[in-house]
Amino acid sequence: MIRNPATVLIVGGGPSGLVLAISLLQNGVPVRIIEKSWAARLGQRGAGIMPRSLELFSHLRMVEPVLKRAINVPLVRKYKLPEGVEIAHEFAMSPILSPTPANPFLNPLLLGQDILETIFHDTLAKLGCTVEKGTELVSFTQTTDHVEVNLVKRGPDGENEEKEKTRYAWMVGTDGAKGSVRKQLGLSFLGETRTVENFVVGDICVEGLSSKYWHMWGDASEVLVSLRPTETKGLFNFIIAGRNINYGQIAASHDSVRECFRKHTGDRKDIKFGVMPWMSYYTPNIRMVDTFQKGRVLIGGDSGHVHSPTGGQGVNTGIQDSFNLGWKLALVAKGLAHPSLLKSYTQERLPVIAEMLNQTTELLDRTFSGTTIGEWQNGGNLFQLGVNYRWSSIVIDERKSVEAAKEAEEDALMEDFDFYDDDEKIDSYGTELDGRLRAGDRAPDASGLVKYGTSTPFLKTYPLFQIFAVTHHTALAFADFADCEEVLRELRRYPRDLVKSVVIVRRKKACPPGSNLADYVVEDYDGHAYEAYTSSVCGLVVVRPDGIVGGILRDATSLRKYFQNLLAGH
Ligand SMILES: Cc1cc2nc3c(=O)[nH]c(=O)nc-3n(C[C@H](O)[C@H](O)[C@H](O)COP(=O)(O)OP(=O)(O)OC[C@H]3O[C@@H](n4cnc5c(N)ncnc54)[C@H](O)[C@@H]3O)c2cc1C
Ligand SMILES: *[C@@H]1O[C@H](CO)[C@@H](O)[C@H](O)[C@H]1NC(C)=O
């Protein structure tokens, strides 16, 4: 038996596994990440990067290389058939929006999944870790205190097979839709397989088409051909989909794909279809598990949910799973929280996944009925900025109870009022958000902060997101409403790297007593932090390491309750 120093074994080197590894390593938890395949992971695949994912990259300090390489979503041009030359209409798949103080990223971007993964690999390498290729999980068993795994290692050509048996405190299966961790755990994977609504997808070099536009011919009620420019000059990502096509025949060879393009784009002599670095034939499966955990083994990403590619949620959802799990597993692995904290991973993510399946399936059905292809046009939800965990048992919202109590007082119904009763309907994608911040929501950004006491003429402002990180909670104490001194003294009871404190003072207002105990004291120079976070009743907001509001709280006692609930388990 080899004793590997890693605490967590991550099985599968796709985006979900990579983000989990980065998050755990940034939190100081040693990981080992294995990948059975040696082959480079090719292709554009899940190329749509949603705004919420860009925020996640910002919290992981890896957004710059993504922004540098990704491209905006181009205008779509649909052509009239049978000639295929004249433009029938032109529309924005995703109209370009300007960032706001609360939303630095409002536009989805496009970047091939292969390139995105190299950025994850670079980030991982800086943390001293690489994906161990050619290493496959074969089987595992678990006890109450460890997982024992049987691995097989092979060379790039399948040579030098070696067996290995090792123990880990935790294992996470991010081994994709066909992965074995879910199966070996015996988890259900209920749903459906679509036989008609298939896709042939891939990347192809095309000459004679402008790379400023996303080109489309036909629609999927018959045959849809889509050619979208990529970040690589001359390379287009394609989709062929339709009720009336023989997928097996088209996908049989590169030549038959090129033939299909010619046939369904009006046989234009000015377009030359060239080499295809990657292609695949995709049958939508719409399925999900009913739990992400059994004992010391967890799963995430495609291994826990598969769905239609319409709406571009796949990669985004997998990495959000990992982002949700990473900090919790880190606290547990470090012995700071009880393992029962991990239950909140399933509790928070399952309703999000269910809604994601619903939305992507609705889009699939609409696409194949030919009524829409402008899937992101009104895609506010698909941007994932509204995804929330308001029902979670580890978030606390006292604003709501204070407001409700006031109302109840007015109605003289105080005695039978249940403060924490929450019969609100779960709206996991936040389709009907009223704009009021609640615990469980995405924590908004606020630009225009200034380090307290560093005044003009060289005003240097920065955004709140610069303080958020996957390594710590951030407690925001708004000096107008919170007893900062009491709050900061309470925060001193916790390990220094568990929570960072920020005192937020209105422009030109005095610094409250106790501010010397804070990690940051900032002046809300442009007023955006007060605008985004406060109403008149609660001046204390705790932001979790995954950029979610964990607590909207009244005072130091509530703060203690929040961390007791989180750290002790329940
Ligand atoms: C053809 C195609 C088109 C797609 N289009 C889109 C799109 O337009 N938009 C979108 O958002 N998403 C799209 N997706 C989905 C997206 O690619 C996936 O959602 C994403 O890759 C999931 O990431 P993951 O890390 O969860 O799993 P994967 O990327 O599947 O990674 C799992 C990895 O685990 C490895 N593995 C499996 N078993 C073992 C084992 N026993 N031991 C070791 N390693 C193992 C596998 O080799 C694999 O590399 C598409 C996917 C495909 C296939
Ligand atoms: C999505 O949810 C709505 C509302 O619950 C429901 O009416 C609809 O049938 C669902 N769509 C799919 C494709 O599951």
Q: Tell me which residue has its CA closest to atom 2 in ligand 2.
A: 358
Ligand 2 pocket residue status of 362, Cβ below 6 Å: yes
- Which atom of ligand 2 is least distant from the CA of 362? 13
Q: Which domains does the chain have, with CATH numbers?
A: 8-71+108-187+286-382 (3.50.50.60), 199-282 (3.30.70.2450), 396-425+434-566 (3.40.30.10)
DSSP per-residue letters across 228-259: EE-SSTTEEEEEEE-TT--HHHHTT-HHHHHH
**Does residue 13 have its Cβ closer than 6 Å to ligand 1?**
yes
Query: Which among 45, 110, 376 is the best mutation to test ligand 1's pocket, defined by most ligand atoms within 8 Å of the CB?
Result: 45
Q: How far apart are CA 230 and CA 475, in angstroms?
A: 41
Which residues have C-beta within 8 Å of that of residue 360, sequence separation ≥ 6?
286, 307, 308, 309, 310, 311, 313
Q: Which of 239, 236, 223, 245 is nearest to 272 (CA)?
A: 236
Q: Is the CB of 182 under 6 A from ligand 1?
A: no
Residues contacting 382, CB < 8 A, separation 6+: 50, 108, 311, 312, 313, 359, 375, 376
Calculate how far, in angstroms, residue 96's C-alpha sits from the geometric centre of ligand 2: 29
State how far the Cα of 415 lies from the Cα of 410, in Å rounded to an integer. 12
Task: Tell me, in angstroms, the distance from the centre of ligand 2 to residue 213's CA.
Answer: 33
Q: What are phi and psi of 408, to 5 degrees?
A: -60, -40
Q: How far apart are CA 14 and CA 131, in angstroms?
A: 10
Q: Whose CA is nearest to atom 3 of ligand 2?
A: 358
Q: Which ligand is nearest to the CA of 307?
A: 1
Nearest residue to 265 via CA among 311, 201, 310, 208? 208
Q: What is the DSSP letter of 515?
A: G
pLDDT in tens, the chain (570 residues): 555 678 999 999 999 999 999 999 999 999 999 999 999 999 999 999 999 999 999 999 999 999 999 999 999 999 999 999 999 999 988 888 999 999 999 999 999 999 999 999 999 999 999 999 999 999 999 999 999 999 999 999 999 999 999 999 999 999 999 999 999 999 999 999 998 888 899 999 999 999 999 999 998 888 999 999 999 999 999 999 988 788 889 999 999 999 999 999 999 999 999 999 999 988 899 999 999 999 999 999 999 999 998 888 999 999 999 999 999 999 999 999 999 999 999 999 999 999 999 999 998 998 888 776 555 555 568 999 999 999 999 999 998 666 666 665 655 444 433 334 456 789 999 988 888 899 999 999 999 999 998 866 678 899 999 999 999 999 999 999 889 999 999 999 998 889 999 999 999 999 999 999 999 999 999 999 999 998 657 899 999 999 999 999 999 999 999 999 998 754
Unique residue bearing structure tokens 């000639």: 83
DSSP bridge pairs for 122: none
